[in-house]
Structure 1
Amino acid sequence: MILHLSNRLLKSLTPNRLINKLLLSLLFFFSVQALSNSFKFAKYAGDFLSIGVGARALGMGGAFTSVANDITAGYWNPAGLTELSSAQLILMHDERFAGIVNYDYLGFAPKPADFFSFAFSIIRIGVEDIPYTNDAFFDTNGNGIFDPNIDRLDPDRISFVSSADWIFITSFARNIKEKFSLGGNIKFIYRKIEKNSGIGIGFDLGLKYKLQNFSIGAVIKDVTSTLIAWNTGRNEIVVPSLTLGISREFEILWGKFTPSLDLITRFEGRNKTALVGTNFISFDFNAGFEYSFKDKISVRSGFTENKEFTLGAGLKINRLDIDYSFAKFDSELGNTHRVSLKFSIN
């Protein structure tokens, strides 16, 4: 049913209708985020959705919105899926903060059809052995509130719990013109910590335009706002965000050099953490580059919105791409290593 509706939607997007739909989407986008600010929800609920996938893209600092041209486009910019020339399968493992957080990603895209492309992605973020201290402190005042100046914890009464976030993404894309493509995502989210769980569904919209050696990309994530409803009665909302990206390919020393820049706009009042921000809107950026020697060996580097420096490298052996990236965090958080394996299938 979803495939049938998606196919009808993609076929209906003629250039004239496309412009109208994009204008309506942008109008709806700003209306939704304005409404979301009139309700009280947990802020920054979507942080776990913005970690990124693929060691190649992460080695470039996540500046991949305009570059996205492989299976990971299903996450970064679904419009880029039209550039696949074969089916692809990718696996990634990421140990963040010196192994405290385990982050895994699986993606598959069948060979693109003549009029549309599809991809399916699964992301899991897990943290084990989280100390649970609600029942472990001596309540000196008997008020049920932990007072660090008076109360103390009983180590024998501390229990340990785990948390897991699951994200299931179905992506589709279509070439509207020879150099212009449009794509979208449907995301199902399941979150669980101890005995509590939450579910949500969200939608992304992306486009990509190629002009000679330039590539321009744009993505609206959580375009209708993504509500995550917990069984505790608490709700979290992921408000829309807009990312604009630009990149250019240069032929240098028997290879390709691709610098890339993403500008990220959010509407969560990140005035204290963003590069530029107010109580309503904030701006950040990701920047990076990739140099690929004869499409066999690649080196990468970048700088992320979280002020991380990243490094990466890649090796292509026949139909197998092996990619690695490294991110340096604050010394107290440790470093992050990511490895991904990408298989191209006839």
Structure 2
Amino acid sequence: MKKSYFLLTFLFVIVTYGQSVRKYSNEFLNIGVDAAAFGMANAVTASTEDVNSVYWNPAGLVHIEDNQFAAMHANYFANIATYNYVAGAMPIDENSAVGLSMIRFGVDDIMNTTQLIDSQGNIDYDRISLFSTADYAFALTYSRKTGIEGLNLGANAKVIRKVIGEFADAWGFGFDVGIQYRTGKWKFGAMARDITTTYNTWTINEAEFETISDAVEGQNQERPETTEITLPKLQMGVAKNFDLSKDFGLTTAVNLDFRFAQTNDLISSSNLSATPAVGFEVNYTKMVFLRGGVGNFQEVEQLGGGTAMGFQPNFGVGFRYNGIQIDYAFTDIGDQSVALYSNIFSLKLDWSVFR
């Protein structure tokens, strides 16, 4: 019956799109992809260099040497919501690469109880129906080396699709741009998301809206606005590789993620907020990986008043053999963040495994 409560949640979302510009819009695109990145607390803007660069920094995609495929699955909210990601990428030539990716975050089989009581006031369970609510993102990525050694550029063109059963749906469009620069063992990167702002345009099913507005007397009477704007975000990172021995290597990374709005991030002002993330990865012959990181630093309001610093420690492991890589991450160790912990698994394949 937990899913029945999601009906009230998502119907509330429909009728509260009154603000055109929102601090938190398309938030499902901020969750992330790839268990390897989660294990490093997402501090991979500078170091990403595989198919998952389509999400973390499109400039890193140019480093792939063969066709690659990636997939990830995760559950949220006590397995009520599912999060799925698939991506593929291929080099075009020595200087450029292209990729495609899809993300879906959704809740399925939600009970629609707006018609539970018939016109005579009787409860009729046969009048209960099920629906799904889902957010989709489709992205086309292009990455290219510049004429400057070590400097790469990339961009995403993305389409957003949102569906809330028969009640409402939306289309959105936006662009991301990324840059990476590498010199020696140092790596630098920046990723600007929704650089032109991303517009979601909603279509409301008027007939279904009437059932919502009549469900509770005097509630949900206002028609929602139909435009939602996602503000740009900026992620900056630096990473360095170390050779610990003949067989062992180490990568350390630091990220600083900016929002152009006031939030509860560690650094916050009226127009700008920022939060850091740090991570590391130890590898043995680039076959076995151990990862850790801390991020998502936020001021969390306490029940007794005041605030306390929240943070999200992560841990991860990975194994790669003959072009097949499997990664696992456990996020929010010790429940130090307001975010729920999750077990994340992901898969990455080099296309050579099929040849």
TM-score (norm 2): 0.76
Q: Deviations over 1:23-44 (max 9, x none)?
A: xxxxxxxxxxxxxxxx743431
Alignment equivalent of 1:84, drawn from 64, 67, 71: 64
Residue 234 (str. 1) matches residue 226 (str. 2) = yes
| Residue matched to 2:348 | 342
| Residue matched to 1:163 | 133
57-66 vs 232-241, which moves further: 232-241
How many residues align? The count is: 292
TM superposition shift of 1:129 = 3.8
Change (3 A) 1:277 1:120: same
TM superposition shift of 1:236 = 1.3
Residue 188 (str. 1) matches residue 188 (str. 2) = no
2: distance between equivalents of 1:251 and 1:131?
A: 55
Alignment equivalent of 1:282, drawn from 229, 253, 273: 273
Task: Tell me, yes or no, if the aligned pair for 2:22 and 2:231 is still in contact at 8 Å.
Answer: no
| Residue matched to 2:330 | 326
Task: Tell me, yes or no, if the aligned pair for 1:96 and 1:337 is still in contact at 8 Å.
Answer: no
| Residue matched to 2:208 | none
What are the within-5 Å matches in structure 2 for residues 60-75 of structure 1?
60-75=40-55
Residue 256 (str. 1) matches residue 265 (str. 2) = no
1: distance between equivalents of 2:266 and 2:125?
A: 41
Any idea what SS the aligned residue of 1:304 has? strand
2: distance between equivalents of 1:201 and 1:333?
A: 28
Any idea what SS the aligned residue of 2:95 has? coil
Give the letter for the 1:303 counterpart. Answer: V
| Residue matched to 1:30 | none
Any idea what SS the aligned residue of 2:296 has? coil
What are the within-5 Å matches in structure 2 for residues 1-346 of structure 1?
40-132=20-112, 160-176=130-146, 177-195=148-166, 196-232=168-204, 233-253=225-245, 254-270=247-263, 273-305=264-296, 307-328=311-332, 329=335, 335-346=341-352
Percent of residue pairs identical: 33
Task: Tell me, yes or no, if the aligned pair for 1:188 and 1:200 is still in contact at 8 Å.
Answer: yes
1: distance between equivalents of 2:180 and 2:338?
A: 39
TM superposition shift of 1:211 = 1.3
TM-score (norm 1): 0.78
227-236 vs 241-250, which moves further: 227-236
Q: Deviations over 1:300-329 (max 9, x none)?
A: 111222632211110011110011111135
Unaligned 5+ runs, structure 2? 1-18, 118-122, 205-224, 298-310
Any idea what SS the aligned residue of 2:91 has? coil
| Residue matched to 1:25 | none
Task: Tell me, yes or no, if the aligned pair for 1:227 and 1:235 is still in contact at 8 Å.
Answer: yes
2: distance between equivalents of 1:214 and 1:160?
A: 52
2: distance between equivalents of 1:91 and 1:189?
A: 19
Task: Tell me, yes or no, if the aligned pair for 1:88 and 1:111 is still in contact at 8 Å.
Answer: no
2: distance between equivalents of 1:98 and 1:264?
A: 28
Task: Tell me, yes or no, if the aligned pair for 2:20 and 2:227 is still in contact at 8 Å.
Answer: no
Unaligned 5+ runs, structure 1? 1-38, 138-152
Any idea what SS the aligned residue of 2:21 has? coil
